[in-house]
Amino acid sequence: MRTTMLRMPAAFATLALAVLGAVVPATGAHASTASTSSTASTASPTATASETCENAWRNARNGYLHLYSGYDCGGHLASTATNDPDWGDSSGSVHGVAVGAVKSLLFKASSGLAVELHAGTGYTGSQVCLTRSESYLTELDGAKFPDGTPLDAARSHRWTWASACDDRFPG
């Protein structure tokens, strides 16, 4: 599965949009090596986007969602293996994260599991799912929830089965 992620061509984003409709605009999040962002990572000035996120993925604990304040998995904000209904409050596994603060994220879980990101607190609003095949999203700028809310404005998440996600994927 990991070697497939390493070989994904940039055309994957276009294909995903064609299959999923307008879930994410063409300027949406870039997964794995599909990213062509020239933005340098805050984690390592010499590593490329895919190298930085790939290294973070290799070192991440299984069963966790990781949030980053920088592009390309730089600037670690939080790691969580549990649901959190409000990223901005002072409780839960993710706390004190301002709207728009998350610029990239990494998801490492067992096959069959997914994490559902919600635009609103309390698991409300528009939603997208990340499965094991979307190991990381290097840049959330421009990506949107189905209702048009920017993906970097996500406010809550919960774990679910990938089979329950229907077609709610960021591409």
Task: Give the whole-angstrom CA distance, residue 46 versus residue 155.
Answer: 32
Per-residue pLDDT of the chain (171 residues; tens, 9 = 90+): 333 333 333 333 333 333 333 333 333 343 433 332 323 333 333 455 578 888 998 888 888 999 999 999 999 999 999 999 999 999 888 988 998 999 999 988 887 899 999 999 999 999 999 887 777 888 888 888 999 999 999 999 999 998 888 766 554
Predicted pLDDT of residue 168:
64
Q: Where are the domains of the chain?
A: 2-164
Task: Give the whole-angstrom CA distance, residue 71 versus residue 122.
Answer: 26
User: H or E stretch including 65?
Assistant: strand 64-68
**Domain 2-164 belongs to what topology?**
Gamma-B Crystallin; domain 1 (2.60.20)
Predicted pLDDT of residue 166:
76
Predicted pLDDT of residue 101:
92
Read off the amino acid at residue 111: S
Task: Give the whole-angstrom CA distance, residue 54 versus residue 167.
Answer: 26
